[in-house]
Structure 1
Amino acid sequence: MLLFALVFIAILIRAEEPTCERWGHAHPPLFMKKGDVIIGGIFSFHYTLENKLLFDSKFTFRLEDFQIAATMMFTIDEINNRRDILPNISLGYRIYDSCGSTRTAVRSALELMSNAEGNFSESCLRSSVHAIVGHSASSPTIAIARTFTDFCFTQISYSASCECLSNRQDFPTFFRTIPSDYYQSRALAQLVKQFGWTWVGTIRTDTDYGNNGMATFLYVAQQEGICIEYSELIHYANPREKFLKVVEVIKMSTSKVIVAFTFDFDLNVLIKELLQQNVTGLQWIGSEAWISSRAIATKENFRVLGGAIGFAVRNSAIPGLKEYILNIHPSFSPGWNEFWQDVFNNDYTNLSVLRINYNMYKAVYALAHSVDNLYKCQEGLGPFFNKSCADKLRIQPWQVLHYLKMVNFSTLNGEDIYFDKNGDPVARYELVNWQINKEDKKYSDLPFWVHNVYSVECMKCPLDYRSNKEKDACVLKDIEFLSYAEIISLVLEAFSFFGASTTTAVMVVFYKHKETPIVKANNSELSFLLLFALTLCFLCSLAFIGEPTQWSCMLRHTAFGISFVLCISCVLGKTIVVLMAFRATLPGNNIMKWFGPTQQRLTVCTFTAIQVLICTLWLSISPPSPIRNMKYFTEKIILECDIGSGIAFYSVLGYIGFLSVLCFVLAFLARKLPDNFNEAKFITFSMLTFCAVWVTFIPAYISSPGKYTVAVEIFAILASSFGLLSCIFVPKCYIILFRPENNSKKHLMGKMLIQIFSFSPMVLNFKLQLSIY
């Protein structure tokens, strides 16, 4: 019974063990070698023009990747033959072909991560390989690296240089032996600046490599004063029409220097179109992905690319590699059959340039030294839990990853190899220049570039000028301001004169009926002063129209500030009179003698004098002045008034706002007075309208560009002025002109008021003077 229970528990434990099974059938590697430690490799031996893995796709053979794969095999064999590193331990490999497809590259990576049975077991940690070398391109490398992130699986690339792969948070298990494009992009910008080529075009491959690399170049180029005429995208899988469009852009451009951040096979398609249309005489600046590629360095392409200059990764000889390649035979591995039958030629054995091959050489040695350090670990001095070492018979990928972070060794060529905190090597580049020497080679140490390159410099136009459509001359920028002749100005001028005329008409009506009760009410002097101030408000808006000058800039802001304070001061005086009069309801209360006509005049003068003082200090310390604003638009100049002292400007506005709010609050407190004495209600509504206009004005003022900023400001002035005029004086004019029977003491007093204040004739008589009707 106990035995049965133990067996049952064991079955349950095994059933709960997490296993991941492969979808579909397993695909055998293209090349394979057994060993104690297996290194996986993913290469693009083929790629399709359609970039789709279809049976009818046209595959193109990539010679360089076969050569690099051979370098990997050679390096592993060389390490196996050495006794100073990994003695009695053999390295093997499993190499897959991604066929230029990111999807296939990820599938190949999953094949390498699976165990011999094709399943992921024991949390997917026991795989058939211990690390992976590849991919050459950045986009497939990124996809593979994201797949490996959750499995702590080591990946080291010999050619993927995208700056984005240095992000340790996104790619914690990725390493590479090629420098990050962070350095190359900046170096290319400095190279262009060094030769004085400040007017250039750019072309990039539409991949992570091209987009990220070119983005960094453009950022640095802008800081260095380099102008970019165009920036075009290419990709070998694009239809021919897109390449022809790029060719047309190049032909129509005035810049003759092109910075190309592309792969060789992408650029090769474009070069063929340029050759067909005989587009030559261009100075090419190349990234390392094509500047040192033999696949593109042909005599025919030299017609277009002759004189090209750019940076390439370090070149170094690899002793014994050529002999190894010459001894390769189809019987070596079935994967060599296609290579042997279709593409074997002298170019394959040309090992004078081993830039990417040398990176592969260093990548394999970095992994070998990591594993060697793992095997040399002494129990009790290890880096893992309780100072333990890895199980030598069951090495796991995450343990190789740990040692790879700390690897530090020297190659047979004397180069020190180690990785920084981002998994990147030390950035080293060589300058490559395309020219034909006596041996008919395409590279040289002596500088040579295209002669008779015109339009290589970007002549910056003066601040008052811009480039024309052809970008070959500077023309004077258009100057913009709110002139008197514009339609919007004419409309605003019409409203301004209409408001001033209407205010004057109201003043005439009030003067002709100055002896009537409705005009006498609430101090007719304040009413006439308020009408005068409103006339100034309407007219001050005209100062904002026209070309800004020193005097107009000083006048428009100060006249606006003083006029509106005079308006609000008069309204505030009327509000205080209404409020205090109706609070003095007890017999014998003489509070109103302290706020008679003299005190009212003094209050208005005091409030206005404070604003005059602020404006005087403003004009004395830092007055408004005309400026030529070139920040908003590059094609035109905005003439506007600079406010000068920001503190003074906001003090003027803040003081107007303070008086407006104070007036609104006091009028609001008096809003429930008897109906026939409701001027406080109209003042409340007028102040509410005034504040609403200026609160709405702020976002509209900020978001309106150029001359429309001034138009919005004029609109706010006119709207708030019309609001005050309409709310306070229109009801009175209506009574005077159309309801003269209501302009009497009997109607103004009202029954309720007579009953309330019949005991106090003095107060009643004073309150009669405060009526608005």
Structure 2
Amino acid sequence: MTGHLLNTATSASIEKLCQQMLFVVVVVVLLLQLPHMACKAEAIKCPVNDPVSLPHEWYQPGNLLIGGVASQIMYLFPQLSFHNHPSQELGFDTPIVVTKFYQHVLALAFAVNEINRNMKILPNITLGFHIRDSYYDARMTYRTTLDLLFKVHKFTPNYECQFPKNLIAVIGGLSSDISLHMANILNLYKIPQLTYGSFAPESTGTRQVASFYRMAPNEVNQYMGIIRLLQSFRWTWVGLLAVGDDSGDHFLQTMEPLLSQNGICSAFTQRIPNQGRFLSLDELIDMTSKIYLPFLDSKVRTFVVYGESMIILWLSALVALEDPGYRENAYIGKVWIMTTQIDFAVTGQITRSNFQIFQGSISFTIHSNQCIGFQGYIQNIQSCKTQDNGFFRAFWQHAFDCSLPNPCVPMDVDGICTGEEKVENLPESIFEMQMTGHSYSVYNAVYAVAHALHSMGSSRSNLRVMAQGKRLQDIQTWQIHSFLQGISFNNSAGETVSLNNRGEMGGGFDIMNMITFPNISFLRVKIGMVYPKAPEGKEITLNADIIVWHESFNQVCPLSVCNEYCNAGYQKKKKEGEKFCCYDCVPCPEGKISNRKDMNDCFKCPEDQYPSEDRDGCIAKMLSFLSYEEPLGIGLASVAVFFSVSTALVLVIFVKHKDTPIVKANNRDLTFILLISLFLCFLCSLQFLGQPRKVTCALRQSAFGIIFSMAVSCVLAKTITVVLAFQATKPGSSIRKWVGKGLSNSIVLSCSFIEASICMVWLGTSPPFPDFDMHSLTGEIVAECNEGSVTMFYLVLSYIGLLAIISFTVAFLARKLPDTFNEAKFITFSMLVFCSVWLSFVPAYVSTKGKYMVAVEIFSILASSAGLLGCIFSPKCYIILLMPELNSREHIRKRL
């Protein structure tokens, strides 16, 4: 195992060493050729067939030069064989021209010319530029960069070679690898490099390069924008396509954890070839077969594509290779999310490919604004076809598919350019009239250098240097770094451009929706923006209503999930052995709901709501209490009123016949007190009806307890009076002195006082209060009186029960005493009814809920009171009203 690791490490080291040696060899050879190339005279205007000369460059002289490395031309370079001189192996074949990127070249030239016309920025300095192409190749990028530094553009009589020339800064490149290759050389000479591509510095190793400046936002800032975009459309099952290089590795290493942390799964990750390496037809077909398989998964509708500028060319070629009747449908009906570096561009070789598959794509682009005069400058592009503009011919011929006359080469072919061609008529995939994000970065880069030079010339130290006879253009390039770092200015588009101390430009990204047309043109519609410094969850703004989706979706937002969303009322249950985005849907458990699709867990409703039958929502609970309006309340209130009136009538009858024997028997005053107590007991039950209030809750149980204890005390006193009266009739009894009103009144007052004391303690310590029971009944909020202290409540009832049991016992023992109008047997029966009611009350009260609990208590009050009233007073009323002859002294004497 250890040997294997050592062999692997050794192989990697040897490979890296070989690459470094190859780079050194190429650079040394080119450096040996440079003095000859730089100082030789160019006597003829038509170049000879020199394989070393680079055909594409644009030079405009000036006191200070801004270099540019564009990425417009592409050649199929052979691998170095070391059989011939390296310069002889860098031959050129038919170029592949990305005509759209000619705008980057024009943006640099436009900015330089605009600054030269503005006398407020560099009044005594004329800026020039020297633009070359990287050719999407590492060797050519190194050579291009060296040419910018050292090669003289053309021969000048009595010219003395400079090493290096008056190059103040270089703008480029578009991709991460090109930028890194340039930085390897430019950093040696401390020449500022302002890159206009958006990529992560960690993926290129440029974070520690002191001369490296980023004129586009760091691409890492768009990663969270992609996450928020996926979350906005609830796409949780996505495919990742990344270019097969270091930047693609960095993207996957950063993006996949972010996806998992935010509830999104990558259905697959697929590496695609780097744009700089063109595969053979066999290799391309083999790669196509491998990449085609993930597209067969119909559940993966969304693809996040990461790559460099022209990955669209590769994807378009991929579709072009497929049999339209066999595999093309696999690529249709997909949502393509493109990262910042990807541009919708085509070349002459693939202009007929199926560009329609990208209909409805969503792309992140560098934020741009339109600069005044740029479109007019583009419309006059034909005036730029000077001999020094080597980019124009390649652009024009490939954009319009025609040939420009060449004075050095006789031409007798068809397809000569007429000169009537208009760039504004070109499709956007070939050339755009609106300034793109990359062109906007190039434009800002030129202005950043100009403003840094302006600040440099305005500083006190440099004013002293220039006062000594030195010119600004003679100052060394390394001195500009301190002025570039932290620079801030307003461009002609009215936006503030600033670089921080690390040489990075802030800002966000635009989110664009692409609408394609059959003629390979398209329209970009801005649908949102990415704000990296926004609070969490607010990183993007999105107007989803204006998105135009692929026609296969019928303008309905597509789904990109491992399985269908769980409906409301269900929750997700993970499938064993699969990613967390793949799950089953199970119903919510009892008492919980899910009110949205695809919820991880169900949840309980708020206390004032309850789950619907389908468990997909919460329904507001009805406020429940025993009211006067409902039938049960009306019935109980009617019974209470009826018995109250009945008690009042009995009291009237007894008052009217107060001097009759039956009324006077067994203490007339106790009879009146008992009737009044029963009357109040019936009325007391009405306090339990209606919505509980603070006053009613505090008084109803206490009033009920005191009044009932008074009524039972009267019954107890009457029973004791009967027993004592019988005992007092015995000769020589000493109990006679106890018989009278004093004893009965003492019994009533003392028993009632004890109950009143218990109630006062209850009210003083933990009184009842209005409360809402949210949980006892489903669908109802029970408005009730919380008893405060349950112990005190049952103590009150227990004391009444104690009095009732004593009364029942005494009355039961005295039920057969031979006395006229003996009430003991009636009291016995009434107490039996009373005790039976209240003994059944406790289990009934505990087992019921809501308003029915209150109804049980009201019924117990009415039933026990009615039992006392009926059992004790109905026989007497019968005699008073229907048998008056029995209620007379004569009848009593006869019985005696």
**What TM-score does the superposition give when structure 1 sets the normalisation length?**
0.52
After superposing the two structures, state which structure 1 stretch, 139-148 or 74-83, moved more: 139-148
Map 1:255-274 → 2, pairs under 5 A:
255-274=300-319
For residues 324-377 of structure 1, the C-alpha deviation after alignment (integer angstroms, 9 at most, x for no partner) is 233334335351333334434532664135222111110100011111111222
Map 1:367-406 → 2, pairs under 5 A:
367-379=449-461, 392-406=472-486
Asked if 1:146 is matched to 2:184, the reply is yes
Aligned 8 A contact 1:44 1:97 in 2: yes
Asked if 1:95 is matched to 2:131, the reply is yes
Please report how far the alpha carbon of residue 438 of structure 1 lies from its aligned counterpart in structure 2 after TM superposition: 13
Distance 1:178 1:470, change over 3 A: closer
Match of 1:34 in 2: 61
Distance 2:501 2:188 in 1: 19
Please report how far the alpha carbon of residue 165 of structure 1 lies from its aligned counterpart in structure 2 after TM superposition: 6.8
Aligned 8 A contact 1:139 1:207 in 2: no
Match of 1:67 in 2: 103
1:156 to 194, 200, 211: 194
Q: In structure 1, what residue type is equivalent to 2:31? A: R
Asked if 1:251 is matched to 2:291, the reply is no
Map 1:504-543 → 2, pairs under 5 A:
none
Q: In structure 1, what residue type is equivalent to 2:395? A: F
Please report how far the alpha carbon of residue 388 of structure 1 lies from its aligned counterpart in structure 2 after TM superposition: 11
Q: Report SS of the residue matched to 1:189.
A: helix
Q: Report SS of the residue matched to 1:267.
A: helix
Distance 1:350 1:292 in 2: 10
Q: CA RMSD in A?
A: 3.9
Match of 2:378 in 1: 325
Aligned 8 A contact 2:263 2:581 in 1: no
2:333 to 272, 275, 281: 281
Asked if 1:447 is matched to 2:503, the reply is no
Please report how far the alpha carbon of residue 249 of structure 1 lies from its aligned counterpart in structure 2 after TM superposition: 2.5
Distance 2:105 2:211 in 1: 22
For residues 389-446 of structure 1, the C-alpha deviation after alignment (integer angstroms, 9 at most, x for no partner) is 9862412110122211132111112211111233211122111112259997432241
Distance 1:150 1:54 in 2: 25
Distance 1:466 1:271 in 2: 36
Match of 1:465 in 2: 576
2:360 to 297, 302, 307: 307
For residues 75-123 of structure 1, the C-alpha deviation after alignment (integer angstroms, 9 at most, x for no partner) is 10111011111002100111112211122112211222237599xxxxx
Structure 1 residue runs without a partner (length 5+): 1-18, 119-123, 476-773
Distance 1:468 1:180 in 2: 31
Aligned 8 A contact 2:484 2:503 in 1: no
Please report how far the alpha carbon of residue 185 of structure 1 lies from its aligned counterpart in structure 2 after TM superposition: 1.8
1:179 to 217, 221, 232: 217
Aligned 8 A contact 2:310 2:345 in 1: no
Distance 1:442 1:302 in 2: 13
Distance 1:70 1:463, change over 3 A: closer
Match of 1:105 in 2: 141
Asked if 1:435 is matched to 2:535, the reply is no
1:352 to 403, 410, 434: 434
Distance 1:402 1:168, change over 3 A: farther
Distance 1:116 1:300, change over 3 A: closer
Aligned 8 A contact 2:199 2:341 in 1: no
For residues 460-512 of structure 1, the C-alpha deviation after alignment (integer angstroms, 9 at most, x for no partner) is 9746723399978799xxxxxxxxxxxxxxxxxxxxxxxxxxxxxxxxxxxxx
Distance 2:502 2:135 in 1: 29
Aligned 8 A contact 1:163 1:182 in 2: no
Structure 2 residue runs without a partner (length 5+): 1-27, 38-52, 80-88, 155-161, 401-422, 528-545, 566-570, 587-896
Match of 1:337 in 2: 393
Asked if 1:24 is matched to 2:24, the reply is no
Distance 2:442 2:163 in 1: 25
Distance 1:86 1:20 in 2: 38
Distance 1:435 1:371, change over 3 A: same
Aligned 8 A contact 1:433 1:443 in 2: yes
Distance 1:321 1:161, change over 3 A: same
Q: Report SS of the residue matched to 2:336.
A: strand
Distance 1:138 1:130, change over 3 A: same
Q: Report SS of the residue matched to 1:86.
A: coil
2:272 to 234, 249, 254: 234
Please report how far the alpha carbon of residue 174 of structure 1 lies from its aligned counterpart in structure 2 after TM superposition: 0.6
Distance 1:57 1:20 in 2: 22
Distance 1:146 1:229 in 2: 38
Structure (1 or 2) with the larger CA radius of gyration: 2
Distance 1:152 1:138, change over 3 A: same
Distance 1:469 1:298, change over 3 A: farther
Aligned 8 A contact 1:291 1:432 in 2: no
Map 1:554-703 → 2, pairs under 5 A:
none
Q: In structure 1, what residue type is equivalent to 2:443? A: Y
After superposing the two structures, state which structure 1 stretch, 321-330 or 364-373, moved more: 321-330
Map 1:50-89 → 2, pairs under 5 A:
55=91, 57-89=93-125
Aligned 8 A contact 2:96 2:347 in 1: no
Q: Report SS of the residue matched to 1:100.
A: coil
Please report how far the alpha carbon of residue 167 of structure 1 lies from its aligned counterpart in structure 2 after TM superposition: 6.5
Map 1:115-130 → 2, pairs under 5 A:
116=152, 126-130=164-168
Distance 1:130 1:291 in 2: 30
Aligned 8 A contact 2:203 2:247 in 1: no
State, as a whole percentage, how many aligned pairs show the same letter.
22
Please report how far the alpha carbon of residue 162 of structure 1 lies from its aligned counterpart in structure 2 after TM superposition: 2.7
Aligned 8 A contact 2:448 2:487 in 1: yes
For residues 570-596 of structure 1, the C-alpha deviation after alignment (integer angstroms, 9 at most, x for no partner) is xxxxxxxxxxxxxxxxxxxxxxxxxxx
Distance 1:406 1:249 in 2: 46
Distance 2:389 2:515 in 1: 39
Aligned 8 A contact 2:366 2:510 in 1: yes
Please report how far the alpha carbon of residue 128 of structure 1 lies from its aligned counterpart in structure 2 after TM superposition: 3.7
Aligned 8 A contact 1:213 1:261 in 2: yes
Please report how far the alpha carbon of residue 134 of structure 1 lies from its aligned counterpart in structure 2 after TM superposition: 0.4
Distance 1:393 1:315 in 2: 31
Please report how far the alpha carbon of residue 381 of structure 1 lies from its aligned counterpart in structure 2 after TM superposition: 8.0
Please report how far the alpha carbon of residue 125 of structure 1 lies from its aligned counterpart in structure 2 after TM superposition: 8.2
Match of 1:205 in 2: 243
Distance 1:339 1:73, change over 3 A: same
